[in-house]
Structure 1
Amino acid sequence: MAEFWNTLWRWISGILGVTCLSLIIILGILLNNTFHQETIKSTSPAEPSTQFQEGTDCYFCQERWIGSMCNCYFVSSDLETWEESRNFCASNNSTLLQMDNRDELACI
């Protein structure tokens, strides 16, 4: 009789293990699809143009962005916090520019 209960518990633990693994895989797929769709929505307006600038290996910049040395810069006069600026950059698939002195601004 003891062997029957051992076999039964092995089957039950095996079934529960497979069920748990299946749920984890399904959750991973759902989270991946949700994250991927949100990323596409947030970065789609910032995709660079697929057209090259004539005579260079550089892409054209988006409207209202300044191109310099194959980089695109967005200069804003809006007063925003660092966090708001970082979020704006992230929504445009870009990063904040960090300058060490005013001379670097002359290169843009």
Structure 2
Amino acid sequence: MSWIDVGHIDDIPVRGARLVKTPVGCVALFRTSATDVFAASDKCPHKGGPLSEGIVHGKSVTCPLHNWVFSLETGQAQGADDGQIPTYPLRVENDRLMLDAEAVSARAAA
């Protein structure tokens, strides 16, 4: 894994999200609690809605366009919807958010 610094944990409000541009592509970061942050695609597979503008609740995000709900842990759509978003390894080191650039790059190349 190749970890890159994508910001400070406090750059994202609790139950909020931010879109970050990295050298290997854009990624949405979602903060579900004081210490839990997830990285995933910003695009809903249904109509391409910007998930970083959706509602963060529990460990899920709801698409702002058509209310599809995705698990931030697995990327799987919840409920009757069939779909999935890519998720990426992210860790917190000394309050800095470290994203696995190799995983993002591999997904972007596919």
| TM-score interval, normalised by the smaller of the two chains | under 0.3
Task: Please give the TM-score of this superposition, normalised by the length of structure 1.
Answer: 0.25
Task: Please give the TM-score of this superposition, normalised by the length of structure 2.
Answer: 0.25
Q: Choose 1 or 2 for highest CA Rg.
A: 1
More relative contact order in 1 or in 2 (CA 8 Å, sep 6+)?
A: 2
Say which structure is richer in helix.
1
